[in-house]
């Protein structure tokens, strides 16, 4: 199956496009730094998940924290997706973008407040993924006050090692996430009879940017064993939530997304053979990362000793992944020019040595005024942006079937100063 690559050079002129839309034209309309997303690619990725699990009852609950733009949530909801949220704020995003999808929301996160729980109970969400015994008590107390039965899944920690960056690995006993799977059986037994709680399922999430299917299979085997033990004890769970975490190739020339999803689906379904309840999936990055690019303008090319610095008008406040996780993003010129490839550091103007996008990187020739695109920036990009250095956050554009539309205007200094009192 041939899959589209959203950012490609147009022939014969050779300028970088999103689908059929030239990035240069978008920059003329909306300025830089600019996030550009391909709606077509996001829809295609959701379709891959839905097809891979089509043989069984399932629901893809997109992890909102990867990219929470309202227009993207709406796009996914219209194609049947549910949502995995981690805060009351994300719940309000779903309500605004697609109120009909509130019943397809699962609420994860290690520290839910009473106010957030109340909001979610009132919204009638699908289930709470509960991460501690104390949270179970809190959920029961809030449900009782609201005279509504709350559906819960325990997020268990399967103690599976997933090879990824330590900041985004979550499935080991030493991590703050979830409940030790060895404790879960006793907890379900203790709480299953509670009048205000309904034991709906069990959930896991072992980490992010995981490239191999093996740890997903291993986690699911442990979860399935727990579900069988519960069934034997008379507690029949309706759903298993496999979490998110499927990774992409940030070096990405030969990435076969369809094959990756199929491999992942095979590992998960193999481990769940015999379980005929509902399967929930929470992909975030996999659906949106490669659909997005951050377009920036080169301000200066500065030589200092043996180093060459390409200074762009985008910075770590716009895309923090390289600084935070030593993440790699491919950087390409929007309009290639002739000349030699140089080894450079690509950096932003923020006053931190950590403000870099690439170090000692072979970069095609660029001059001040040129545009560059940081690829695969659709996940954990804009959502982690900040106003550090009193910088205004970028605008965002969504390209759908050859048409581009602004989905978030560039911030103004008035937006930024509005909450402050002198
Ligand atoms: C972050 C997160 C996800 C999504 O992870 P990706 O790596 O973006 O797929 C899914 N579920 C939970 C509970 C999460 O915290």
pLDDT digits (tens, 9 = 90+) for 123-170: 999 999 999 999 999 999 999 999 999 999 999 999 887 776 666 666
Residue 355 backbone phi and psi in degrees, to 5: -85, 75
Residue 246 backbone phi and psi in degrees, to 5: -65, 130
Of 61, 65, 82, 153, which is best to mutate to test ligand 1, by the most ligand atoms within 8 angstroms of its C-beta?
Answer: 65
Closest CA to ligand 1's atom 3? 244
Which residues, at least 6 apart from 319, have a Cβ–Cβ distance to it below 8 Å?
294, 329, 357, 374, 377, 381, 384, 385
Distance 156 CA to ligand 1 centre (A): 14
Report, as ranges of residue numbers, the positions in the chain whose pLDDT lies below 70. Answer: 1-4, 12-13, 164-174, 176, 253-254
Domains in the chain, CATH or no CATH each: 7-37+290-417 (2.40.37.10), 108-283 (3.20.20.10)
Distance 16 CA to ligand 1 centre (A): 30
> How many secondary structure helices (H) and strands (E) does the chain include?
12, 21
Q: What is the pLDDT of residue 177?
A: 77
Contact (Cβ atoms closer than 8 angstroms) between residue 316 and residue 323: yes
Q: Which two tokens stand for residue 90?
A: 């994300």
Quick one: which atom of ligand 1 is closest to the CA of 380? 8
Rounded Cα distance, 398 and 387, in Å: 22
Of 45, 66, 213, which is best to mutate to test ligand 1, by the most ligand atoms within 8 angstroms of its C-beta?
Answer: 66
Instruction: Find out whether the beta carbon of 157 lies less than 6 Å from any atom of ligand 1.
Output: no
Quick one: which atom of ligand 1 is closest to the CA of 108? 13
Give the H or E element holding residue 137.
Answer: helix 133-145
SS3 of residue 215 by DSSP: helix
Instruction: Find out whether the beta carbon of 378 lies less than 6 Å from any atom of ligand 1.
Output: no
Quick one: which atom of ligand 1 is closest to the CA of 243? 11
Q: What is the DSSP letter of 17?
A: E
Closest CA to 227 of 206, 203, 196, 244: 203
Instruction: Find out whether the beta carbon of 108 lies less than 6 Å from any atom of ligand 1.
Output: yes
Quick one: which atom of ligand 1 is closest to the CA of 170? 15
Q: Which two tokens stand for residue 59?
A: 């629901």
Distance 244 CA to ligand 1 centre (A): 5
Q: What is the pLDDT of residue 172?
A: 65
Rounded Cα distance, 310 and 314, in Å: 11
Of 171, 205, 281, 383, which is best to mutate to test ligand 1, by the most ligand atoms within 8 angstroms of its C-beta?
Answer: 205
Distance 288 CA to ligand 1 centre (A): 12
Instruction: Find out whether the beta carbon of 205 lies less than 6 Å from any atom of ligand 1.
Output: yes
Q: What is the pLDDT of residue 3?
A: 47
Q: Which residues are marked as active site?
A: 351
**Taking all residues of the chain, what is their mean pLDDT, rounded to a whole number?**
94
Instruction: Find out whether the beta carbon of 208 lies less than 6 Å from any atom of ligand 1.
Output: yes
**pTM recorded for the entire structure:** 0.96
Closest CA to ligand 1's atom 10? 244
Q: What is the pLDDT of residue 2?
A: 41
Quick one: which atom of ligand 1 is closest to the CA of 246? 9
């Amino acid at each position: 199956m041939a899959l589209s690559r959203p950012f490609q050079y147009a022939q014969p002129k050779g300028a970088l496009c999103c689908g059929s839309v030239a990035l240069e034209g978008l920059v003329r309309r909306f300025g830089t730094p600019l996030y550009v997303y391909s709606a077509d690619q996001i829809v295609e990725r959701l379709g891959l998940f839905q097809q891979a699990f089509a043989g069984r009852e399932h629901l893809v609950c997109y992890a909102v924290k990867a990219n929470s733009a309202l227009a993207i949530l709406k796009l996914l909801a219209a194609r049947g997706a549910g949502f995995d949220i981690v805060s009351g704020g994300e719940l309000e995003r779903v309500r605004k973008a697609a109120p009909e999808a509130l019943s397809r929301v699962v609420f994860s996160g290690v520290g839910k407040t009473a106010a957030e729980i109340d909001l979610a109970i009132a919204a009638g969400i699908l289930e709470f993924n509960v991460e501690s015994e104390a949270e179970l008590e809190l959920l029961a107390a809030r449900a009782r006050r609201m005279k509504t039965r709350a559906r819960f899944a325990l997020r268990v920690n399967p103690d599976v090692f997933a090879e990824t960056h330590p900041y985004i690995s979550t499935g080991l006993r030493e991590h703050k996430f979830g409940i030790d799977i060895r404790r879960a059986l006793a907890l379900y037994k203790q709480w299953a009879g509670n009048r205000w709680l309904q034991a709906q399922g069990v959930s896991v999430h072992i980490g992010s940017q995981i490239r191999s299917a093996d740890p997903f299979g291993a986690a699911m085997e442990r979860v399935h064993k727990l579900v069988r033990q519960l069934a034997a004890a008379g507690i029949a769970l309706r759903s298993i939530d496999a979490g998110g975490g499927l990774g992409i190739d940030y070096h990405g020339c030969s990435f076969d997304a369809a094959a990756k999803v199929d491999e992942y689906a095979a590992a998960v379904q193999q481990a769940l053979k015999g379980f005929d309840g509902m399967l929930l999936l929470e992909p975030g990055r996999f659906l949106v990362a490669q659909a997005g690019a951050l377009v920036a303008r080169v301000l200066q090319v500065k030589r200092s000793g043996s180093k060459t610095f390409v200074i762009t008008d985008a910075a770590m406040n716009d895309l923090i992944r390289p600084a935070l996780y030593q993440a790699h993003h491919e950087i390409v010129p929007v309009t290639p020019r002739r000349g030699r490839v140089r080894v450079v550091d690509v950096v932003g103007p923020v006053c931190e040595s950590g403000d870099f996008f690439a170090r000692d990187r072979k970069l095609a020739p660029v001059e001040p005024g040129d545009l560059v695109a940081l690829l695969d920036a659709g996940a954990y990009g804009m959502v982690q942006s900040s106003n550090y250095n009193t910088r205004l956050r970028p605008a965002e554009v969504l390209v759908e079937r050859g048409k581009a539309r602004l989905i978030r205007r560039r911030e103004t200094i008035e937006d930024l100063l509005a909450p402050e009192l002198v």
